[in-house]
Structure 1
Amino acid sequence: MANHTATDTGTDLLTRKQTKVSRLGRKVYRYRWYYLMMLPGLLYFLIYHYLPMAGVVIAFKDFNLSDGIFYSPWVGLKHFEEIFTTPDIYRTIRNTLIISLYRIIFGMLPDLLLAIILNEIRVRWFKRTVQTITYGPYFLSWVIVYALTFSFLAPESGLVNTLLRSMGYDPIDFLTNQEYFRTILVASDVWKSTGFGAVIYLASLATINPQLYEAAVVDGAGRWRQLWHITLPGIRNVFILLLILRIGHIMDAGFDQVYIFLNARVYETGDIIDTWVFRRGLENLEFSLATAVGFFKGVVGLVLVIGANKLAKRFGGSGIW
């Protein structure tokens, strides 16, 4: 009798599993075109983001090109110890964190403000024109942005210094001055990316139910109260999501921009982890050290994302997961 009951139970479990597999197969077939559209993106992340993670093993090896990854000797945590015994590393970490925080503090609010302003504009052609003009710089490379910045701030021929000389002031060498370097970085980043950030918020604003605004008008709420009680709460989750993503990249600080703008006279305030790794890893061929720094950055970014996500949920946000 017991054997018969066990057999029935096993049969029921097998039947339930087969039913679940059948349902899963039907769902996959029903949404097959959606999965097909997802396939290129999934392959991109698999090939260029997940498979290269296997190379992190060289952070624990004394890697050299002649021996390759598999035959290079293991050295344990040697390269991680070398990171924190290098005199320049603390300066680069400090610069990285400061520049990243400046980007978060001064880079997110302009996106939100521009989106709210564009959302309040009722003249469509003017709204589209402003949106196109502000969105355009996002497609420019940092090389072009630096060329434009140089044309404004060059010590001899720059527009700003030309105006200063015309007013009787001495020209200022902005691009090689440590006091102005971070300001120039953040200002150029805001100019370049504000339009793109506003598009994300505009998409979020479009999902707010228009009946909420109609009900607010009936209750006598003005535009400011509608903004405070409907618009801002409606895009709060998107703001928190973007904030968490930026916190996860706080150890990056924008290598491509900093590398192009950087020069030897502003290393003290502008040299970040990625530019330091570029010099040590590629120029000096210290691949293991560069990989160890990348591994360290990844761990820090993971911890920050998890922590920020938990804080967002604790204070009523949706978080990432």
Structure 2
Amino acid sequence: MKFLDLAKVYIRSGAGGAGCVSFRREKFVEFGGPDGGDGGRGGDVWAEAVEGLNTLIDFRYQQHFFARNGQPGMGRQRTGKDGDDIVLRVPVGTEILDEDEETVIADLTEVGQRVLLAKGGNGGFGNVHFKTATNRAPRRANPGQPEVERTIWLRLKLIADVGLLGLPNAGKSTFLAATSNARPKIADYPFTTLHPNLGVVGVDGTEFVVADIPGLIEGAHEGRGLGDQFLGHVERCAVLLHLVDGTSENVVADWQTIIDELEAYGGDLADKPRLTALNKIDALDADERKAKAKALKKVAGEVMLLSGVSGEGLTEVLRRLRQVIRSERGGDEVEDGPWRP
């Protein structure tokens, strides 16, 4: 399944059916009179967050969603049939934006949340509603209300507990593969990861969700590399795990590059709880580990050591992440089992 986190959608609710102008005419019935029915109501357009989806790929192949119009009224005071509603089934974590891509209409963060995007028009009154003592044969009826048509954007922000950050080839995908059942693509060249990946990580009987996004490079906020378009997927995380490549010649510069991009991205991302870890320590000797960890601590504070290949330090990092998640979201958030996309 391909990953898609932004889609443009055109929606239109149904128009209300027109009222009917009709008169009762039956043989041997002395008193007739108006009997035109009302028009049916037009269908609504809804959006609903559902289980089992983690991409907006369905909206790449269908962008137009039109609800049915209400049927016109009929004689014998018969009301027209209401138009059927349309429900856009979206993944949990989907933001619905107006056409300007800035105004947030709704943010669906829980399964079952629904939002009305376009309300269907009411049906018009038939001529039976206009009968009075002085106007016993009205020849007028109301038209139905018009439809509502609009353009919206769907933007998916994955819901995870931990977000992985780092330069390309910092070992984020290796970390995810070593700690979960996820199988992201791993290779010895940068930008191996082209779209976010989710993995359920377990430690000491508890589970939480980790999101791996493509690596950032200097100038990502200006569109360089893959840009910062995927940073939205870690906005909802409780904690960020910043992986620094231990085999790099200047680990401090690598760390600072990511911090600068977070600050340039804006919002509260740079202020989120962040854990810094020196990765790939299996390729370093004892002196190199000590020197690089000391240099990194001067700018980042607490620094943990790990290796996604050998597994060294992984359990300690996961336990530390679990503690931060508990403090940010409460103890029950992690104890209830894995999040299911």
Settle same-fold status: TM greater than 0.5.
Answer: no
- Return the structure number with greater relative CO, CA threshold 8 A, min gap 6: 1
Give the structure with higher Rg (CA).
Answer: 2
- TM-score of Structure 1 vs Structure 2, range by shorter chain: under 0.3
- After TM superposition, the score normalised by the length of structure 1 is 0.23
